Amino acid sequence: FTLGLGGVLSSGGFLLLWLAMHFAWKLTTAPLAAITFMYGQGQLTTDVAVIPTLAANFPNHRGTAVGMGKAFVGLSGSLAAAFYNGFLYPDIVSFILLLVVWIIAACVIGVLFVERCAGVQGIASPLANDVVRRQFMIGFAIVYGMCALLLAIALWEHLVDLSNGLRSVLAMCVFAANAVLLSFLGTRREQSARAAPGSSWEQTGRTPSVECAQAEMRQYTLTEAACTVEFWLLFLGTIAAAGGGLLLINNIAQVNLALGENDKVSNTFVSLLSISNCLGRMIAGTLSDWLVLRFPGFPRPAYLAGSQALCALLMAAFALFPSSTSLYFLVPVVGAGYGSISAINPVLAAEVFGMAHLGSIYMAFSLAAAFSSYGFATFLFGGVYDAESHGACVIDDVCRPGSYSACLSGTQTSCCLGPACINLSFGVSAAAALLSVCLYLLVAYLTRDRYIASTARTTPGISLLSCDTR
């Protein structure tokens, strides 16, 4: 039901937008805001339907499964751009209608063929875990190939004016890889598997960590979770950590213009952001899963602390020494850092507060990203950018100073030129990322006993050091 509702809201928003464009309706700000709100709610509803389902269906590989699901969100911009440039450019109206059909088809398939498992009975054997892990690795290889192809297309378009025929061929290659991946993973689900006959598990007659096998983790409701320190630390950590990524995602074109570059270069950065966002989500899910298994009791929030420390370092360097060259280093790191937040947040919610009410708790964390987007991408960056504009305008896809003759008329698109347009915004974002490092490390400290207990219940051969599963 939730997935269907998300599909109705998302496709309905795009359908209204298509009608407005097709029939040339003269819409004011309020109707456009309502359409945007409708689509945004549909996207959030779909996300809340999909992510808890992945977390429930793959309990022993939650980070990997959620990371791959989130990766397609990060990759969606590049996939849509490849299809549009390859088959429909410059017919944007038909592309919007295609999105309506695309969303409806995806949600119908999901409603009909995807179900949420009731839960894993028993503990998966090492053999079952290895099979699932290999399936994910094959899927990752296909996604990495898609990312490499999309990045090559973006760079190629930056250097050479591609013909429509070549664009179509490249787009077909991308979507062929996508079709192979979906057909391969679409029928996979983690199997509930006890020990194989004759194995050491069955011979001993004991499941791992039998001392606490019956100690079930407390299942928090949203109200109960909101009364804990961990919830608000994660909520504030998400606001602080996501700020830099959302600032860059929403304003990459303006940052590029402020550096004096041609506006057409922004398309390359958009693709680079989308691809790094995708890779960050996959790597974060897989690597954090590996760390949890390799180092029993490793608290997953520590991974976010490490990724945000790197983002803080690069954003501070960019704030001090802004240039188009340093932007090429900043974009993939910050894009991947933001992707890691998107991938690990729902897993953290499941591991800290339980699966029973994951949808509502995860949606609450999504509100933190919304606050971060407005605070950093709109209020902070937009305010500084407008204040430092001084009448600058875009002429021939390049930002010109306000003293430029064509800018004096006031009819050109406004912009901002110079380091002052971006220094403060990225400096504040770097400080916020550093704050998030402290918050995530504090959450890691507070939840360390729960991670030790959780690892002991799900991993063979690990002695239980703590049964604190409150």
What burial class does residue 343 get, using C-beta atoms within 10 Å of its C-beta: 0-12 exposed, 13-18 middle, 19+ buried?
Answer: buried
For residue range 252-263, list pLDDT tens digits in order.
989 999 998 887
For residue range 43-63, list pLDDT tens digits in order.
888 888 888 888 888 777 788
More reliable by pLDDT, 47 or 78 = 47
Q: Which of 37-46, 115-124, 312-321 reaches the highest mean pLDDT?
A: 312-321
Q: What is the DSSP letter of 459?
A: S
Q: Is the pLDDT of residue 79 over 50?
A: yes
For residue range 195-220, list pLDDT tens digits in order.
444 444 344 444 343 334 334 678 89
pLDDT classification of 457: cutoffs 50, 70, 90: low
> Does residue 420 contact residue 388 with C-beta atoms inside 8 Å?
yes
> Does residue 333 contact residue 310 with C-beta atoms inside 8 Å?
yes
pLDDT classification of 91: cutoffs 50, 70, 90: confident
Its pTM surpasses 0.85: no
Q: Is the pLDDT of residue 442 over 90?
A: yes
CA distances for 22 relative to 19, 84, 88, 114, angstroms: 5, 17, 15, 34
More reliable by pLDDT, 396 or 171 = 396
pLDDT classification of 65: cutoffs 50, 70, 90: confident
For residues 346 and 116, what is the distance between their CA atoms, to the nearest angstrom?
16
At 117 the pLDDT is 55
Q: Is 193 left (phi over 0), alpha (psi -120 to 50) or beta?
A: beta
For residues 174 and 78, what is the distance between their CA atoms, to the nearest angstrom?
10
Q: Among candidates 422, 398, 414, which has minimal Cα distance to 265? A: 398
Q: Is the pLDDT of residue 237 over 50?
A: yes
Average pLDDT of the chain? 79
- Residue range 303-309: mean pLDDT, rounded: 95
More reliable by pLDDT, 233 or 3 = 233
For residue range 336-377, list pLDDT tens digits in order.
999 999 889 989 998 899 888 888 898 888 889 889 999 999
| Residue reference for tokens 């751009």 | 81
At 168 the pLDDT is 61
For residues 336 and 338, what is the distance between their CA atoms, to the nearest angstrom?
5
Say how many C-beta atoms besides its own lie within 10 A of residue 316's C-beta.
17
At 197 the pLDDT is 44
Q: Is the pLDDT of residue 247 over 90?
A: yes
For residues 283 and 441, what is the distance between their CA atoms, to the nearest angstrom?
20
At 169 the pLDDT is 64
Q: Is the pLDDT of residue 464 over 50?
A: no
Q: With residue 398 as reference, give the H or E element that holds it.
A: strand 398-400
For residue range 151-184, list pLDDT tens digits in order.
777 667 666 666 655 656 666 676 566 556 555 5
Q: Largest Cα–Cα distance of the chain, in whole Å? A: 86
Question: Contacts by 450-453 with C-beta closer than 8 Å and gap 24+?
Answer: 450/217, 450/351, 450/352, 451/292, 451/297, 451/298, 451/299, 451/300, 451/351, 452/296, 452/297, 453/212, 453/215, 453/217
What's the one-letter identity of residue 329? F
pLDDT classification of 383: cutoffs 50, 70, 90: very high
